[in-house]
Amino acid sequence: MAKYLLLKHYRGAPAPANDVPMDQWTPQEISAHVQYMQDFADRLEKTGEFVDGQALAPEGAWVRYDGEGRPPVTDGPFAETKDLIAGWMVIDVDSYERAVELAGELSAAPGAGGKPIHEWLEVRPFLSAPPTISECAFHG
């Protein structure tokens, strides 16, 4: 099993095919979209592949250490940031192919006109813990 992060972006991803902002959809189209996402997560829970899903608010801040005894420096939010993460889903699947298959399904969530958004999702493998058996048996 391997864990993958499916990342959804507010900004920074290539433009999707069905690129209409959500507040221009009909309320029914929004409901259908929300339902699709929920059904998707439920289905993954049933197949034993769902780990976590979270959405992020668009506005945040940059923070860094500013030396001993000083409060951290905060900066932002920067409206012009090129890349803005909207949320993620973590899945635990048997193969990279399965991760891609699921990302493809998630990207088919309906948008304006009830048609799939074709939204670009970023698929990133987790760096896993080292395996217990570290020697290679074939060369050992």
User: ∠ CA(9), CA(10), CA(16), 5° rounding?
Assistant: 75
According to CB under 8 A, which one of 1, 17, 55, 73 is a site residue for another protein? 55
47 binds another protein (CB under 8 A): no
Kindly indicate which of the ranges 19-27, 69-77, 102-110, 130-138 contains the residues binding another protein, using the contact rule CB under 8 A: 19-27
Q: What are the structure tokens assigned to 17, written together?
A: 């095919």
Asked if 24 interacts with another protein (CB under 8 A), we say yes
60 binds another protein (CB under 8 A): no
φ, ψ of residue 13 in degrees (nearest 5): -85, 155
80 binds another protein (CB under 8 A): no
* Residues in contact with another protein, shown as a per-residue x/- string from 99 to 138 under the rule CB under 8 A: ----------------------------------------
Record the tokens describing residue 11, joined without a space.
């900004």
Starting at the edge strand found earlier in the chain, the sheet holding 50-55 runs 50-55, 84-93, 2-11, 122-125
Pairing of strands 122-125, 62-64: unpaired
- Contacts with another protein, residue ranges (CB under 8 A): 22-27, 29-31, 34-35, 38, 55, 57-59
